[in-house]
Each structure stands twice: as C-alpha cells, then as structure tokens.
Amino acid sequence: MLSLIAVLDHLSPARQIASLGAMSERREQARYAVWFPMKLEAPALEDGVAVSRNVSNTGLLMVTAKRLEIGAPITVTFQMTLSVPERTVDARIVRCEPNPETSGLFPYRIAVEFTEPHADLEALLRDVEAAQRASSTK
C-alpha cells in the first residue's frame, strides 16, 4: 500500500498549479488547484489512495495508481487541512485516462462527480488554494 507521505512527496503545489492552466473553460463550477491525499473506496478497489489535482463543489480530478471503471460509484474521504474536519463524499467516476504527467506512482487521472453538490466547499477551497500557492512561491 502506498503511504500518504509518498503521495504527498510525489506532487508539489507548484507542479499542480502549473498543470491547471490546461483545463477546459467549459466548467460550470469554479475549480480550485488544491492538492491533498484522499482515501478511495469502490467495489473493485482495495486500499485506494489518490491525490487531488483540482476540486469544485460538484466534483474533483485526482491522480491514482488504479484504473477505475467509468460510471462506477466511489466514496472519497479527505481532509484538506489539519484545521478542517475530515469529509467523506459519495461520487461516480465520469472519466479515467492515462496521466500525461507521469507513468510512475500515479499513472491514472480520474474525474468524479459528487452525487450531491457541496456548496460549503467553495470558500474553503479558495482559502486552501491561496495558502498552497503562497507556500509554493517561498
């Protein structure tokens, strides 16, 4: 099983923010370039871990070691910062593709759509993104 420290060491905020520029402008919800480790639970998955790439109040893009089936249900558990409680959300996989940034530790990029929007996430995501940007420029 991958350790969360290995997950965090693999991706830096600067690398994450730089890759966000290639995202499509067709999104209805604001997406925030934030990264944090996540635990994944799905029927065909054992000990799933991932790292977020960008998050909105309706879904997220993550990188992971496992390929997952489009349309499959998934439960994602994450804690964006130590001062914020852990959160578990139900979602469904809407895209799974090779990760163009690496073929190593996280060879897949997976997009999920939350089963319910989480409007309360937006202000927190904005704050976390700003903090990660500030720490990546130091």
Residue 20 has what pLDDT? 41
- Per residue in 40-86, pLDDT (tens digit) is 998 878 879 999 999 999 999 999 999 999 999 999 999 998 888 99
**What's the per-residue H, E or C state across 61-114?**
EEEECCCCCCCCEEEEEECCCCCCCCEEEEEEEEEEEECCCCCCCCCEEEEEEE
Could you give the domains of the chain? 4-136 (2.40.10.220)
Residue 138 has what pLDDT? 67
pLDDT of 24 higher than 70: no
pLDDT of 109 higher than 90: yes
Quote the tokens at residue 131.
């903090």
pLDDT of 99 higher than 80: yes
Residue 52 has what pLDDT? 95
